[in-house]
Amino acid sequence: MSDKEQELSSALKQGMRYLASGVCIITAQMPDGERVAMTASSVTSVSDNPPSLLVCVNQQAKLDMALTHTDKFNVNILSRDQEDLSNNCARPSQGDSRFQSGNWVKDSNSDIYYLEDALAVFLCEKKKVVAHGTHNIYIGDIWKVHVSDGSSNILVYANGAYHYL
């Protein structure tokens, strides 16, 4: 990376700290059945027809490896009470230990785990992958949604810290 590119990369990271984002945990499964989870704030609605969203995943992440081998993934939107889960899934790979805390439930149709008490859960089928720079952008059509009663505060991340709405 040139000095100019490094400078732009650093400025991008600094500027993006001011963009508050909801905190999510993305889950998938490796071909051998190992469960994989990663905290992400780069989740975006793509369309409501068909209902779809996208997630951006670093190509070095274990989740990226899982998503190259499966068509199913889940997006769990976290509440204030799930900050510890977010931190747990943000650390370098902890393997299956990430699923030792939290109310994880296995979806009977996809065998992918989701957080039963997340504010919302989107069960997705991978439709398209776009490689760009260090990341892959996974677009998934949503085939099932779980929505909570909304009584918990939304967990957001901005300026290097958690906040609540």
pLDDT digit string, tens, across residues 43-65: 999 999 999 999 999 999 999 99
Q: Torsion over CA of 147, 99, 160 and 132, rounded to 10 degrees? A: -80
| Predicted TM-score of the model (pTM) | 0.94
Residue 78, pLDDT > 90, answer: yes
Instruction: Go through 85-111 and write b for each residue having 16 or more CB atoms within 10 A of its CB, e for each that does not.
Output: bbebbbeeeeeeebbeebebeebeebe
Alpha-helix runs per DSSP H in 17-139: 62-69, 83-90
Confidence category of residue 72, pLDDT binned at 50, 70, 90: very high
Residue 93, pLDDT > 70, answer: no
Number of structural domains the chain divides into: 1
154 vs 23, 78, 83, 102, 148, CA distance in Å? 8, 7, 10, 17, 11
The CATH number linked to 41 is 2.30.110.10
* Burial of 68 from C-beta contacts in 10 A (0-12 / 13-18 / 19+): middle
pLDDT digit string, tens, across residues 15-31: 999 999 999 999 999 99
- Domain limits for position 157: 3-164
Give the percent of the chain with pLDDT over 90: 89
